[in-house]
Amino acid sequence: MGNMRGSVTIHMAAHPDEVWQLVSDVTRIGEFSPETFEAEWTDGATGPALGAHFRGHVRRNGIGPVYWTACKVTHCEPGRDFGFAVYGAGRRLNNWRYQLEPRDGGTDVTESYHLDDAGVLRLYSSTLGLLRRRTNLRGMRETLTRIKAVVERSEVG
């Protein structure tokens, strides 16, 4: 099941709190993610908190199909950790997480995902799973590179 999880780590020349503010603000996800082009807090949530709900508007593989996903915050520790689960048909499919480690005056940012059983069932073919993993890893690298550009630029100010 090695293709059902993956992670990418990038070092950013910024304080963990600044990075966390970016990764935990789901309304900015469209600036960074190649697949999720917008997201909004739902069910009364107004910002990151454990158990808060939001929905993401996804364009699969950056080309289609387009659909909304229901998400719920699973990890929320300012300056350290932000994670959420993605649901489909009421079942938990995938889990995304950003973990921040202070290092050399900046922050090591690790973005990771792992599929729940329902998500694994949706990728019943190992070939599909491997392709999806490659897409996810590429997407995570792209997301983190964009976040790095924004957070390092604001450092200069």
Instruction: Delimit the domains of the chain by residue range.
Output: 2-156
CATH homologous superfamily for 2-156?
Answer: START domain (3.30.530.20)
- Partners of 73 in beta bridges: 84
pLDDT digits (tens, 9 = 90+) for 34-51: 989 999 999 999 999 999
Classify burial at 136, counting beta carbons within 10 Å of its beta carbon; exposed 0-12, middle 13-18, buried 19 or more.
buried
Residue 157 has pLDDT above 50, yes or no: no
Calpha distance 60→102 (Å, rounded) = 33
Q: Percentage of the chain surpassing pLDDT 70?
A: 94
Peptide bond into 65 cis (omega under 30): yes
pLDDT in tens, 91-100: 899 999 999 9
**Rounded distance, CA 126 to CA 124, Å?**
6
The pLDDT tens digits of the residues spanning 120-142 come to 777 676 777 788 888 999 999 99
For the chain, how long is the longest CA-to-CA vector?
A: 49
What is the pLDDT, as a whole number, of residue 120?
Answer: 77
Q: In the numeric block, which tokens belong to residue 147?
A: 């976040």
Whole-angstrom distance, CA of residue 95 vs CA of residue 112: 8
Q: Which residue has the tokens 């993605």?
A: 86
